[in-house]
Amino acid sequence: MKPLRRDSVPAGYKQTEVGVIPKDWDVKPLHSLADRIMVGIASAATHAYRDRGVVMFRNQNIKPGYLDDSDLLYITEDYERTFKNKRLKAGDLLTARTGYPGTTSIVPTQYEGAQSFTTLITRPRREVVDSGYLCVFINSEAGQTYFEQNQIGGGQKNVNAGSLKNLLIAFPPTKAEQGAIAEALSDADALIESLEQLLTKKRQLKQGAMQELLTGKNRLPGFSGEWEVKALCDVCVKIQDGTHFSPTIRGGKYFYITSKNIGFGTFDAKDAPRIDEDQHRAIYRRCDPKPGDLLLTKDGASTGNAALNTLDEEFSLLSSVALLRFDPEVHDAPYFLQQILSHAGQTHIKDQMSGNAITRLTLAKINRLRFPVCEILEQRAIASILSDMDAEIAALEAKLAKARQLKQGMMQELLTGRIRLIN
């Protein structure tokens, strides 16, 4: 937090090492708010691993605010007994030393007596500070910025106990207010987690629907005809790649789309370079992209990605991208074929790739790509179902992004005392 000029500090607040906070708040290093800060088991333990026994958490189990127990290790009781002084207590904080250094979670009641491997363990002074409050502060922007500035190591950065001990904590005077802040942010986390779970479920449902509908395994009511295998050249009036061209980027108004802008079913032009009108006119007519054309990547790490053109404006294409324009008399549901190419047809596309270090699809091979397709009315029906599912997923993604943004704003206000939950 950028310090304010002394004469600009609001009434009732004070300037501190961590920024402007209420006058009745305090700032102390973490070690003065903890009975112990130590490292978990740091000795080789592979010989003591068992299918059951004493739970041992690792750095990868530590998530912001909670422990991920979906992948646990267990050690023998005999081995664990030699480290009984490191046994975890409910309410302890575990901080990752590696992976995502500084990420911190709380030990829940059910894991009282568990152990941890090379993590940092903080045992808060319960009479002074709330464990939940400490956890959210350490995971806040202020806490994580501190760790980024105090990481050690070469290729793999890590946080040590000394850095953790010296982390400055700004905190309210009562545990009641600390707990209220932690609870409010915990509720925000619960909302975010529920949205994440719902989003995962919706994506899985769409994946299952695609596997059934795009292969003809499950037919929609009213459709029963045989699917026909067709080559792309039979359903397109145009298959053309862009230009092998190195423009002089001068901040013009026209996008120059490359394979980097084509994702797995997504097209995002916002980071594409721009070229001026002279350069654009020199290469635009080779493809003349229109809304609804399918863009297919031909080489590089993203070879085989396919996405519909959603831009209602002129742009130019690099040679690493092919444009496919469908014949409306044969195939008028481009979204259907985009889904085919992006999912059911990926195996066939990969079979056609050439090259070792750099994979490629030539225009000749793209023309020959063959896929099973149904008649137009069924294509439209399938496309409508999958498009509706996409819209639902997009709405959930937007809601999740907003929830995360709101939580970030809450943290900024609550952890600096700008908003008080208890007077």
Give all domains of the chain, ordered by start, each with its CATH number: 6-171 (3.90.220.20), 175-225+375-423 (1.10.287.1120), 228-373 (3.90.220.20)
The pLDDT score that the predictor gives to residue 343 is 66
The pLDDT score that the predictor gives to residue 330 is 64
Rounded CA separation 226/134 (Å): 63
Rounded CA separation 36/95 (Å): 13
The pLDDT score that the predictor gives to residue 106 is 96
- Other C-beta atoms within 10 Å of 265: how many? 16
- Other C-beta atoms within 10 Å of 336: how many? 25
CB 114 within 8 A of CB 56: yes
pTM of the predicted protein model: 0.77
The pLDDT score that the predictor gives to residue 312 is 87
Handedness of CA 354, 359, 363, 368 (dihedral sign): positive
Find all residues with CB under 8 Å of 149, minimum gap 6, and list them: none
The 10 Å CB-count burial string (b at 16+, else e) for 116-150 is bbbbbbbbbeeeebbbbbbbbbbbbebbbebbeeb
Rounded CA separation 239/287 (Å): 9
Q: Token digits for 272?
A: 């594409």
CB 287 within 8 A of CB 240: yes
Helix residue spans in 41-140 (DSSP H) = 77-81, 131-139
- Kindly give the parts of the chain with pLDDT less than 70: 1-7, 153-156, 247-250, 330-333, 343-348, 350-359, 423
**Helix 141-149 / helix 131-139 crossing angle, nearest 10 deg:** 60
The pLDDT score that the predictor gives to residue 229 is 85
The pLDDT score that the predictor gives to residue 365 is 86
Q: Is 163 helix (H, G, I), strand (E, B) or coil?
A: helix
The pLDDT score that the predictor gives to residue 4 is 44
Q: Is 274 helix (H, G, I), strand (E, B) or coil?
A: strand
Rounded CA separation 238/202 (Å): 35
The angle subtended at Cα 57 by Cα 54 and Cα 58, nearest 5°, is 140
